[in-house]
Amino acid sequence: MPQPVCRGTRAGRARIARALAGCAAALVLMPAALAQEITVPHRVAAGAGVSIQTSGSGAATLYLVGPGTAIKRGIRLGTPAEVSGADLRNAGRYKVMVRAGGEAHTANFFVVPGAAQSISFLARPSRVPVAARDAISGVAFVFDNFQNLTTAPASVTFNLAIADGPSITRKTESHEGIAWTRLDSARKAGAAQFVASVPGVEVRRVVQQVASDPCELRFHIKPGKSGIEAETDPIRDCSGNAVPDGTIVTFTENDGRTRSTVDARIKRGVAQAQLPAAPGATITVASGVVAGNEVRVGGEP
Amino acid sequence: MTIRRLGLAALMAIATLVLLAAGYASSGGAASHANTPEAAVRSLYDHVRTRDFPGAFRYVAVASNTDVERFTRDVAGRDGSLRTLSTLQDVNTSVLHENDTEAAVRANTHWSSAVGSLYDSRELRVVRENEDWKVVWPSDKTPNVPPQVLALNFLRWEIIHPAAGEDWGAQNAEAPRVRILNMTPLQHDLGNGLQGVMILGEIVNEDTVPGFVSVTATLLGANGESLGQETAFDKISHTLLPREVSPFRIDFPGAKLADIRKVTMEPTALLVPASADPVIGVLHQRIETDARGHKILKGELVNQSGETVNIPHVIATFYNEAGKVIWVSDGYVDHALQPQIPEPFQLEVRDDMGATPRFRVTVNQYTIERQGA
Amino acid sequence: MKILSRVLLSLAACFGLGMAGVAAPSDSAPGASAPAIALDVSQAAPRQVEDSTVRAITRDYGRAWQALAAALGQNRADLLPEGFVGVARQKLSERIAEQQRSGLVTRVIDHGHRLQAVFYSPEGSAMELRDTARYEIQLVDGGSVVSTETVTASYAVLMTVTDDRWKVRVLQETE
């Protein structure tokens, strides 16, 4: 119950004593408050309305304060005060206070989250190399209809699937609103569908599984318009996936006196470069840390 | 009233003529006279500085076998090259040798440009034509690209971002993974006469998407206090394609290596739209020694794609025997790269790096966006 | 008559002193010092919490409560983005809008938080924590304190990385 606030000032001790005595006297001499009692359920489901029972009679002011709510309105004591479900959507503690004639009564109740109705799904990473262990993580945050974190356990299913490949399914239970899993990436490159679901709700993400480093890098040369044209064979990783277009492949030609380099890009699976026609020069190819074959200009590969 | 009007008109006509005459006189008139070889070179560049290219051309010898259009393209630049964005600030001349009919004059020019100061040095032949000295301007021998139709196989990355409005958990395309391959702090002259510490190294894009990368270094002192923080600015290729490696150099003017206890490196990468083109070959790379005895890295750039590269930026990384980066230098080429047309470049090399330093040359480029590109 | 005048004088004194209490500087004002935060990450899983993250969470959670106190105390939803994002921000904004409609403000005098990290996401962008918070809360109606309460409350907190900072995405009081 809130009390009148009497705090010390710079006034003398005697003056404070007089004031405190006056406070007490004032409380005694106040008109007797009408006896009240507030009755509320201890726990209410989110979004459900509540009826606040009061005893006594006469006019009073109802305060209802909670997460997302701060209501003040007049009520008649002895008549139930209805609070709509719209005012009780947010989970947490609510405080009810009824003031009448300088007297206040308070009560607390909890709004608890409802059943799992929505998921916020964090799927990481958005790109992952193929055949990587525990490389994909999924975290599902389970909410009810009113965006309250569902703290009761909920059954969450994770599923990772790629076209024409086997899918992986993990069933788990949320703990304090969270369920999570870790999965290996598949051996096949492509867009994997990563789905988190609770009964009636599913959320889909895409994880791009991309080829790893080139496995065997080979190229050949042929005479070109202004020198030599070097071109690789289709560049694949060790699982047979095409290395993504745009990946840099470096051709280096060394003729003993000068060196020529071209940072070519893989396009449509192969990389091409034009190099000077220097008889006897050696040409090598590399992509990242992977080196390929060597070709001598005018000689056998 | 009519008389007053006529008087006013006559006055304006006279004033106009006087101004025209003054302008004509100040430009040297139709005939340009230079009494010495050095004066001829200086006068030519004075007109270039005011972008009066026909005026400058009046100091060009007939023996140059060029015309005013070609001369203007050579001096003022073309194809959106760096030279088109440059202004001549200063010229220093010195006569190398001279006789009654011919002289050699070295012209060191200083240009201000969009990427900072550019310095050029030319040895010009000056000949006597009648009573005047004229400059034999070495005409631009760059061949023109033959008219042709090139079928291009463009590869470009675009990014679709999530729609506006917050949807937490909704997936976004992540920034590319980048990694610093190596890093070396070095106490050295920073190239502008200032001593300082530079952080040299390399960064790689390990992802399958392009990234706009940046590297920030923080120097920490003996007590862990920050001595300075700088970010690689132009000695780095900021746009890195998948598996592309770029050197970086971060300068800390005034810093002393002995004061530094630790260096923290922070590479950052943003996912950006990018094109896989153009591909620029770096041909015939070699180290030569110039007339002053300094080492120079020379070569030719060849644009192997179908569109003009406006501003090529050459970055050279030098390594020691252990493969560690020991120097990074860069330079801009002030000519645009036309498809398939070789364009020479040269970079200064530190003289203390041995006779045959290991190096790698990469080319960064800036291209004016074309409609439909 | 004398007694009545004395009672009135005392009531006036009482009211005046009460108002002095109301007008006292509030901890919820912007610029107030951050509340004491004790963070325990020993139970966090599946990812181990980095030292830098401990520092960031401690700092940013304190900032969030400062923002909360300032926003509820001044009915200014524009102060919330400093520490809140998403659902938490939306719910607090709703509360502030309702306070404005009802002519109420809430004054929060923060006495500190004991935080325990219970989940740290594998990729390091989200953390769930349990907070045991102690604070004094006053409901002020038209300038008068109508309720004062010292509360020890438990919260489920979800913090996520937003704009290079940790912000509170869920702040849900639990039983």
Determine the residue among A205, A247, A250 to mutate to test chain B binding: the one whose Cβ has the most chain B Cβ atoms within 10 Å.
Answer: A247
CATH code of residue C111:
3.10.450.240
Contact B273, B156 (CB under 8 A): yes
Interface of C with B in 63-92 (CB under 8 A): 85-86
**Predicted pLDDT at C20:** 31
Question: Distance between CA B31 and CA B25 in Å, rounded?
Answer: 10
The domain made up of B27-136 is a member of CATH 3.10.450.100: yes
Please name the chains neighbouring B, where neighbouring means 3+ C-beta pairs under 8 angstroms.
A, C
Q: May I ask the CATH class of domain A219-296?
A: mainly beta
Mean pLDDT, residues B197-225: 94
Q: Check CB contact under 8 Å for C123 and A125.
A: yes
Phi, psi of C123 (to 5 degrees): -95, 0
**Predicted pLDDT at B293:** 82
Determine the residue among B154, B239, B243, B286 to mutate to test chain A binding: the one whose Cβ has the most chain A Cβ atoms within 10 Å.
Answer: B243
Mean pLDDT, residues C39-61: 96
Would an 8 Å CB–CB cutoff place B208 in contact with chain A?
yes
Q: Which residues of A touch B360 (CB under 8 A)?
A: 261
Residue A178 or residue C26, greater confidence: A178
Question: Distance between CA A34 and CA A75 in Å, rounded?
Answer: 14
Q: Is residue C9 part of a domain?
A: no
Which CATH fold topology does B156-275 show? Immunoglobulin-like (2.60.40)
Q: Which residues of C touch A6 (CB under 8 A)?
A: 14, 17-18
Mean pLDDT, residues B221-232: 94
**Predicted pLDDT at A14:** 44
DSSP bridge pairs for B113: B116
Contact B44, B109 (CB under 8 A): no
Q: Which residues of C touch A124 (CB under 8 A)?
A: 122-123, 125
Would an 8 Å CB–CB cutoff place C154 in contact with chain A?
no
Would an 8 Å CB–CB cutoff place A91 in contact with chain C?
yes
Q: Which residues of C touch B166 (CB under 8 A)?
A: 85-86
Contact B281, B302 (CB under 8 A): yes
Q: Is residue C99 part of a domain?
A: yes
**Predicted pLDDT at B28:** 43
**Predicted pLDDT at B306:** 83
Domain, as residue range, for C77: 26-174
Determine the residue among A231, A248, A252, A268 to mutate to test chain B binding: the one whose Cβ has the most chain B Cβ atoms within 10 Å.
Answer: A248
Among residues of chain B, what percentage have pLDDT more than 70?
Answer: 87
| ipTM (interface pTM) | 0.80
Contact B199, B267 (CB under 8 A): no
**CATH fold match for the domains A36-112 and A219-296:** yes
In DSSP notation, B58-105 reads TTB-GGG---HHHHHHHHH--TT-GGGG-EEEEEEEEEEEE-SSEEEE
How is domain A118-210 classified at the architecture level of CATH? Answer: Sandwich (2.60)
Contact B334, B81 (CB under 8 A): yes
CA distance B170 to chain A (A): 7
Question: Distance between CA B350 and CA A240 in Å, rounded?
Answer: 45
CA distance C8 to chain A (A): 8
Per-residue pLDDT in tens (0 to 9) along chain A, 301 residues: 333 333 333 444 444 444 444 444 333 333 334 546 889 999 999 999 999 999 888 999 999 999 989 999 999 999 999 999 999 999 999 999 999 888 889 999 999 999 999 999 999 998 999 989 999 999 999 999 999 999 899 999 999 998 888 899 999 999 999 999 999 999 899 999 999 999 999 999 999 999 988 988 999 999 987 889 999 999 999 889 999 999 999 999 999 899 999 999 999 999 999 999 999 999 999 998 889 999 998 865 4
Q: Is residue C5 part of a domain?
A: no
Break chain B into its structural domains and give their ranges.
27-136, 156-275
Break chain A into its structural domains and give their ranges.
1-30, 36-112, 118-210, 219-296
**Cβ-based contacts under 8 A for chains B and C:** 6
DSSP bridge pairs for C128: C119, C158
How many independent structural domains does chain C possess?
Answer: 1
Contact A293, A301 (CB under 8 A): yes
Strand order in the sheet with C37-40: C37-40, C104-120, C126-141, C144-162, C165-174
How is domain A36-112 classified at the architecture level of CATH? Answer: Sandwich (2.60)
Question: Distance between CA A258 and CA B251 in Å, rounded?
Answer: 31
- pLDDT per residue as tens digits for the range C97-148: 999 999 999 999 999 999 999 999 998 999 999 999 999 999 999 889 999 9
Q: Is residue C12 part of a domain?
A: no
CA distance A93 to chain B (A): 25
Structure tokens at A197: 């679901």
For residue B168, how many other CB atoms are within 10 A of its CB? 16
Check pLDDT > 90 for residue C171: yes
Q: Check CB contact under 8 Å for B285 and A264.
A: no
Q: Is residue C17 part of a domain?
A: no
- pLDDT per residue as tens digits for the range B335-358: 899 988 999 999 988 888 776 778
Lowest mean pLDDT among A203-212, B4-13, B63-72, B236-245: B4-13
Interface of C with A in 71-130 (CB under 8 A): 87, 90-92, 94-95, 98-99, 101-104, 106, 118-119, 121-123, 125-126, 128
Interface of B with C in 160-189 (CB under 8 A): 166, 168
Return the percent helix, strand and coil in chain A, to nearest 5: 5, 50, 40
Structure tokens at B301: 């750039």
